[in-house]
Amino acid sequence: MRIAIIGGGPAGLYFAILMKRDRPSARITVVERNQADDTFGFGVVFSDATLDAFRDADEPSYRAIADSFAYWDDIEIHARGATHRIGGNGFCGCSRRTLLMLLQNRARQLGVELEFGRDARPEDFPDADLIVAADGVNSPIRTAHADHFAPEVDLRPNRFAWMGSTRPLDAFNFFFVEKPEGIFIAHAYQYEAGASTWVLETDPETFARAGLDRMGEEESARYMEGVFAEALQGHKLITNRSLWRQFPMIRCARWVKDNIVLLGDAKASAHFSIGSGTKLAMEDAIALHGAFMAGGDVGTCLNRFETGRREEVEKTQHAADVSLVWFEHVRRFWDFHPSRFAFGVMTRSKAITWDNLLLRAPEFVAEVQEVVAAETPGGDRRKPPMFQPLKLRGMELPNRVVVSPMCMYSADEGVPGDFHLVHYGARAMGGAGLVFTEMTCPAPDARITPGCAGLWNDEQQAAWARIVGIAHAHGARMCLQLGHAGRKGATKLMWDGMDRPLESGAWPLIAASPVPYYPDSQVPREMTRADMDRVKAEFVAAAKRGDAVGFDMLELHCAHGYLLASFLSPLTNHRTDEYGGAVENRLRFPLEVFAAMRAAWPERKPMSVRISATDWADGGITDEDALAIARAFHAAGCDLIDVSTGQTVEDAAPVYGRMFQLPWADMLRNEAGVAVMCVGSITTPDQANTIVAAGRADLVAFGRPHLTDPSFTLHAAAEYGVRDVSSPVQYGPGKDALFRNAKRAREDLMELRRKARPASHAPAALKHAAE
């Protein structure tokens, strides 16, 4: 087999090593444009889990790396005069030059041909069975075939530069320093004796105010020495092509073209804040080698590599995306208590959570718990964040858990029936602080489907009163969510075809503009001023009925492409009058409805608004729009923003994942200064504790978990030993047994997690393992 590898970085060299070791008869050539001992940058960093993978892939090269690395177990966060040291992380640093030399030596020993100082192209290897394009983040091969690989390059706004220092460090350090120009960040770690990497970062406004855009390499190093003088402790910053630049987040639609495969940064990049791109590149090499060892021709193996590796790469990139956004918006969190700030640093990528930290740094978690309780009126330092109380106007909630609004499509002419009584009653008995109704419609033509619940007549009001009475009897508060389907109305029940138009029995639809949801959906009529007056009156009448029922809170649904949302999004609002155009105009009618409802709703009772903070589509709601919308409702008397996303247009492209809507909740809470509820793929109590402790949301809504476990909150309380969660007195013996069993189960689980942690690769641990 003839293999040509273009790019002699860690990815190309490591793949050459693995293939030559297992296919010694293959002719493998690595061509690198730089000289053998040229390298730019300073150190690279690997986790214990990555070192496990290296050891399993190639023991000799792992041993060589292990003999050369600096190991640490702790992360130190320095901000606003406080330092938090958090153990149990397990990282090593290694000189990039040393790593390349070790890999080159191993490759030569195996018989790999190495050429340096030469630019190469795929055309230079007409006889190659396989061409590996490991030619870096600016890959000329990827660029030459951009039409096929379809790269997307997202140039992030923050500026950064890689520098070095002789300052010794015994932990991975995050230094945050505020100067008159703004906030500067250093990601710093030691990679060998007397040598440490310093990745310096700041936002574009601070960069410009500091004049760094006008400084040369050495001048900027001297300036940054002044910024981080305390952290450097008299040591200098060292440069090596330490140019300030923006990080390019790279994704490619395809990684393979004929016999050419992209590897490492050429195909996908991951931000330095979650580790080293070298890690991702070398793991790519392991995966590509594994694809070939599984057998088949080159095409089969390359397809196996791309299909098998893509999900893991995309997960890493998603974590990197979330992490880098945290650093881009560090100003949001700057005024947090230092302990909560440090907690946010640790949990920023969602990979580390409350329970993870409880395992590795219990004292730190206890400190954060105390701070959260101290900052919460009526807080209890014995309880984790999700069980801290929250007060909105006159409504007091015993915890931060919410049963999310979920349409059941099971009402009869808008009347909630026995199903609803059991459904809401069971969840009200399960311990959640707040239970939302499904979207409830103020008029028959406001419904999404014929099965939607309503509140426009006495029969419906009586049915809801029975449900609310049961909830109150068992300690839960209930929020009435009112909404009008608009252009998404007159559709089939969810299980018969979600959002698909009714084949018979449909009613006329109205919307901000005559824009149908699907091409074959009914075209709504553009609302007139008379329509607006009628709809506003219907909302007010339903709100008054809700108060008479005894609901504790009222929410106005302005999300998901429904009537009021169709005014807010430019994708569905094409009006040229005073209700269209700029966001202030698009807000006009939804705000008018809200103000009328607020006036009719008792002052002591809170109100919230659900919004879609992004449409997940080009030309839709921007972050600036979302902030303007949240601020406007807050100024009009809204107490909480229920932050959802999307469902505005049928061709939206949402990016799903754990807690995928949390970044917008975070943004609105910490930039608009309004309390928020987050929702969307939040599934565990651990995530709820993480979200509240990090100051990213005030309430956490669980939807699907409550569908299968009405006592979700009670189970969480048992897990964390919080006994004063409401449950029926009749269920007392079951509750007692649950708490006994949960204590043992949690102890067993924590022990399993300890055992499942990657083995330490610290020199002492390696010596012990060898003995």
What is the set of active-site residues? 562
- In residues, how long is the chain? 771
Q: What's at 259, amino acid-wise?
A: N
- Return the percent helix, strand and coil in the chain, to nearest 5: 45, 20, 35
The C-alpha atoms of residue 56 and residue 50 are separated, in whole angstroms, by 10
CA 669 – CA 685 distance, rounded (Å):
21
Residue located via tokens 């106005």: 556
**Phi/psi at 46 (5° precision):** -130, 150
Q: Quick one: which of 220, 384, 290 has its CA closest to 720?
A: 384
Number of H helices, E strands in the chain: 28, 29
In contact, 726 and 474? CB cutoff 8 Å: yes
Residue 482 forms beta bridges with which residues?
440, 556
Instruction: Give whole-number Cα distances, 393 to 163, 676, 692, in Å.
Output: 51, 14, 20
Q: Beta strand pairing status for 553-558 and 607-612?
A: parallel
Distance between CA atoms of 433 and 386, rounded to whole angstroms?
Answer: 10
Q: What phi and psi, each to the nearest 5 degrees, are found at residue 510?
A: -130, 155
Question: Which amino acid, one-letter code, is at 720?
Answer: Y
Q: CA 433, CA 421: separation in Å to the nearest integer?
A: 18
In whole angstroms, what is the distance from residue 446 CA to residue 728 CA? Answer: 36
Partnered with residue 91 across adjacent β-strands are 47, 72
Contacts 24+ apart (CB under 8 A), 49-55: 49/758, 50/275, 50/279, 50/282, 50/283, 51/92, 51/758, 51/761, 52/758, 52/759, 52/761, 53/283, 53/286, 54/282
Interatomic CA distance for residues 237 and 224, integer angstroms: 8
Q: Looking at residue 670, what DSSP letter applies?
A: I
CA 376 vs CA 215, 332, 382, 496, 722: distances in Å: 46, 19, 13, 45, 17
Phi, psi of 27 (to 5 degrees): -95, 115
Helix (H, G, I), strand (E, B) or coil at 342: helix
Q: Facing residues of 237 across strands?
A: 165
